[in-house]
Structure 1
Amino acid sequence: MLPASDPALCHALAADLRAAGYTAEALRDAWGPAADDAIARGLRSPASRALGDREDALAVLGRLLVLGMPQAEASVDRALVRTGAAGLTRLGLADVERGEVRPRALVRPQSYADETGSGQWWIASDLDEAALGGPLPEDHVLGVGGASLTLAGLQLSTPAARGLDIGSGCGIQALRARAHVDHVVATDVSARALAFTRFNALLNGVGGIEVRQGSLFAPVAGEQFDRIVSNPPFVITPRADDVPAYEYRDGGMVGDDLVAAFVAGVGAHLAPGGVAQLLGNWETRDGVAGLDRVRRWIESSPVPLDAWVVERERLDPLSYAELWVRDGGTLPGTPGFARLVDAWLDDFGARSVTEVGFGYLLLRRPLEGAPTLARYETLHAALPGDGLGAHLATALEAHDRLGALDDRALAASVLLVAPDVTEARHHLPGAEDPTVIELRQGGGFGRALGVDPGLAALVGACDGDLPVGVLVDAIAELLGVQAGALRADLLPRVRELLFTGFLRFG
């Protein structure tokens, strides 16, 4: 059964959830942070034990809609005074049998925040492994997981007119995009996923989301968008009959071909100046590093693209196989686990894959002319959950501004050190001069950068008062070095500090 798109019932359910104080923070307070973290690992008993025999609305809804545990019909009717157990049934979210309400879906609260504000959604999705008590069905619609939160936090927070969410799943990316994009088209190969997207938009009172069924760019042939976002089914899965193909993670292609196909096709669907952001996996194959293969995909795009690609993690084939076999609900020691792992290893071996990278891509169609941004980097630090989209937007703005400045113009610019930047100096015991000077970034990607005394002095002096060139000349005199040579050394690094957010234009 699919969730029903009944506006009146969705409105009633939202009012009931609001009246019950059904928020992520309230639930975390109710069962504690350790139990809350355990839920993310598929363990629901700590939260259930913490709630005990509580019968208030928050506890009843937490058991039913977060943990996926049956509840007494009378308890649900008291918790949802407008909707009741009967309304949940009509919405396709539950069944009622002999006085007991059995959930057919989860509806979990999800907080969000960026520099423009904060809020909360309720996100419906299929029952997870803990609620099902076993492996997931292949048409499973996933709720909000770590990858979803990563991409949601990465979305640019600048305004745009038309957006596209490819592989919408439960609709979390479309909802996030609508905070800054006037109209969003959400597509998926799964009719079930689109039903959840439509339902979640109604439940949260978010208009301007249009759903279309189809693969990749087929539902939007001939159309262009200012913003494209995708958490596609990028998981590398063996193409074998006895290996489950989960719609939410498996795009039906060999290896990392799905991400390559997205890169090849996205340029034609970006309006000039439009930006696409997606998550992906890529293989290190036949001795060619994954990031180098991604670079080749982008350089081969029929439409030239600016590119900023970040690799966050690399896994060996065995670790990758175990991760995704577990993700489908088949655990070590259960029937089929070793067989599925071997299928993954055979698949990787056939293509001489030695590592799999995970990360994100930001691709932009230039307003005019050739691409000017080609940045491929590895950043293994954990990303913040929210607010990184603003950092990416600022970095793109700095890149474009720097492209119009030669070194003379940059030297004439007045700069400010970003307020989240700190400096650490490390000395050997008894030594007067530091052996290491490090700049640390509190926001953005949380970068740490080793610098020399000249660059440290320049960053420290960027207070919005004097131009860069004047500061460099003064530092050269203090250090007893030639000013021209110091400029030639520092200005390229100042450009990097402006792009990465350590410095800002005044």
Structure 2
Amino acid sequence: MPSLPLPQPDPRLCAALAEDLRAARFHGEDVRAAWGEIADDAIARGLRRPAERALAGRTDPLAVLARLLMLGMPQPAALVDEALPRTTGAGLVALNLAAAVEEGIRPLAVVRPQPFADESGDGGWWVASDLDEAVLGGPLPEDHVLGVGGASMTLAGLQLPTPARRGLDIGTGCGIQALRARRNVGEVVATDTSERALAFTRLNAMLNVVDGIEPRSGSLFEPVRGERFDRIASNPPFVITPRAAGVPAYEYRDGGMAGDDLVAHFVRTVGEHLLPGGVAQLLGNWETRDGAAGLDRVRDWVDASPVPLDAWVVEREVLDPLSYAELWIRDGGTVPGRPEFAGLIDAWLEDFAERGVEHVGFGYILLRRPEAGSPTLARYERIGQSLGGAPLGPHLAAALAAHDRLAGLDDAELEASVLLVAPDVSEARHHLPGAEAPSVIELRQGGGFGRTIEVDPALAALVGACDGDLAVGPLVGAIAELLEVDATALREDLLPRIRELVFTGFLTFA
């Protein structure tokens, strides 16, 4: 499928478009209310007809803009001019977001309202990107610029909410990570190999009146050679794609390397671009090959960095090769029943077989260059349970702060500390029928990663007593006396587990 013209960002027209969208109440909640919950769910699954039916016959600005800019439906020029009185259809054409055709104004891109929430409050952006497969009716062009999807919002929610001076967004795409970073970071360099993506990034920064974003062209760290940053965020083109004839190489997801080499390269080299105390966060895939677990391979990548790094890696999902292949073939707009589908499946499976790939993991990588000294954090874990909708960034920031404080405390100082149970923690006790004592005691976390951990009566008693009154040491002594166990042995058993509960957010320092 041929590529569409590049967007032509223009500050005056972008400002006019933003005013028109605001006046039309072109916001996520208003659009959802216009076409209803069922249609909204259908849109998320690539189905437009329920929304088309819900808006049928309506000529108000919100309905016209929803059809034009979200559903990709041509609209009469007169209705577009009424809906966008400052921009007009001619302005959309000048931005290369639409084309003038016989039936009126035909969209060349989508512009979607994107709500967000962070510690500074609720807000929203308008994000322009390329037409998706539901509009195109077939496979995507290889230079397709993806809009805001689940992975984009995941990484945006992972970004630390603490202030920083200078940031870097690698593989910026439509610019969503750069927009998110600017909420807390003074200036952001946004890089991509795709000139099309950089054009959308410029346009979206103008449309949302966000300054301090500098787009640069190039691969990975090439555009910032010799520079260092406080924050680096990347939703890189990590999708494992066969290097075979006939397999589309989509710029937004394929970095041109074999297997998981791109993520490995990123992890090994990012430390050189971090200032002391700087943090890099990215999403990635990693392969389990010939019995070598994916998380262990990520650990090897971190260890291979010439700059020693703290690391916290979370594996959220694991797929077998067939499921992985089908997921990304469908993502490109090729579905079962199309002649090329089976051939693409074969190409993926052959590629995996050549490297002995058994599974592919997906997750989050957080790397930090220590302020001074050696790394103190090396955490590689699997967290498979579903998470709530709240951003994880505040939880990650709190965990890093807790880790740093704990690293400076010896056991005696920890015993002298006063702790509190986090407000989102609850306890569940499970009894066998007729039994007085519980057979299982669980602590459950409502926020963060939503962890559930099994504890014994001693640790449960300590957590229950952490009300900001007594320090850890006296509490352990009292529990040892209550349970009639040796106090020294109980301290040795509980203190490492208390450290874990503080890091994971079950307990906090008073």
Smaller-chain TM-score range? Answer: over 0.9
Q: 2:398 aligns with which of 394, 401, 414?
A: 394
Partner of 1:208: 212
Structure 1 residue matching 2:322: 3-state secondary structure: helix
Residue pairs, 1:304-383, within 5 angstroms = 304-383=308-387
Partner of 1:59: 63
What amino acid does structure 2 have at the position aligned with 1:144?
V
Structure 2 residue matching 1:156: 3-state secondary structure: coil
Partner of 1:37: 41
Partner of 2:128: 124
Equivalents in 2 of 1:68, 1:99: separation in Å? 14
1:78-124 C-alpha deviation (Å, 9 max, x unpaired): 11111111111011100111241110000000011122211000000
Q: 1:21 aligns with which of 22, 25, 35?
A: 25
What amino acid does structure 1 have at the position aligned with 2:221?
F
Are 2:412 and 1:408 equivalent residues in the alignment? yes
Equivalents in 2 of 1:203, 1:464: separation in Å? 48
Deviates most, 59-68 or 133-142 = 59-68
Deviates most, 437-446 or 91-100 = 91-100
Structure 2 residue matching 1:71: 3-state secondary structure: coil
- What is the CA-CA distance between 1:308 and the residue it aligns to? 0.2
The answer to whether the 8 A contact 2:74-2:103 is kept is no
Are 2:483 and 1:479 equivalent residues in the alignment? yes
The answer to whether the 8 A contact 1:150-1:383 is kept is no
1:203-255 C-alpha deviation (Å, 9 max, x unpaired): 00000000000000000000000000000000000001210000000000000
What amino acid does structure 2 have at the position aligned with 1:234?
F
Partner of 2:283: 279
Equivalents in 1 of 2:480, 2:29: separation in Å? 53
What amino acid does structure 2 have at the position aligned with 1:417?
V
The answer to whether the 8 A contact 2:421-2:508 is kept is yes
Are 2:448 and 1:444 equivalent residues in the alignment? yes
What amino acid does structure 2 have at the position aligned with 1:347?
D
Are 2:235 and 1:241 equivalent residues in the alignment? no
Partner of 2:148: 144
Are 2:261 and 1:257 equivalent residues in the alignment? yes
TM-score, normalization by structure 2: 0.98
Partner of 1:505: 509
Equivalents in 1 of 2:486, 2:266: separation in Å? 50
What amino acid does structure 1 have at the position aligned with 2:203?
F
Task: State the number of aligned residues.
Answer: 506
Equivalents in 2 of 1:124, 1:194: separation in Å? 12
Partner of 1:94: 98
Equivalents in 1 of 2:59, 2:386: separation in Å? 38
Equivalents in 2 of 1:309, 1:322: separation in Å? 26
Deviates most, 193-202 or 481-490 = 481-490
Structure 2 residue matching 1:186: 3-state secondary structure: strand
Equivalents in 2 of 1:439, 1:53: separation in Å? 54
The answer to whether the 8 A contact 2:315-2:361 is kept is yes
The answer to whether the 8 A contact 1:310-1:360 is kept is yes
CA RMSD of aligned residues (A): 0.8
Deviates most, 411-420 or 382-391 = 382-391
Where does the alignment leave 5 or more consecutive residues of structure 2 unmatched? none
The answer to whether the 8 A contact 1:74-1:99 is kept is no
Equivalents in 1 of 2:324, 2:290: separation in Å? 18
Partner of 1:174: 178
Are 2:427 and 1:429 equivalent residues in the alignment? no
Equivalents in 1 of 2:456, 2:387: separation in Å? 27
Where does the alignment leave 5 or more consecutive residues of structure 1 unmatched? none
Equivalents in 2 of 1:33, 1:248: separation in Å? 30
What amino acid does structure 1 have at the position aligned with 2:227?
E
Are 2:193 and 1:189 equivalent residues in the alignment? yes
Percent of aligned positions that are identical:
74
Are 2:506 and 1:493 equivalent residues in the alignment? no
Equivalents in 1 of 2:435, 2:262: separation in Å? 55
Equivalents in 1 of 2:448, 2:38: separation in Å? 28
Structure 2 residue matching 1:359: 3-state secondary structure: strand
Equivalents in 2 of 1:481, 1:254: separation in Å? 57
1:421-465 C-alpha deviation (Å, 9 max, x unpaired): 111111122221111111111100000111111111111111111
The answer to whether the 8 A contact 2:9-2:206 is kept is yes
Deviates most, 94-103 or 152-161 = 94-103
TM-score, normalization by structure 1: 0.99
Q: 2:117 aligns with which of 104, 113, 117?
A: 113
- What is the CA-CA distance between 1:381 and the residue it aligns to? 1.9
Equivalents in 1 of 2:41, 2:270: separation in Å? 36
Deviates most, 6-15 or 473-482 = 473-482
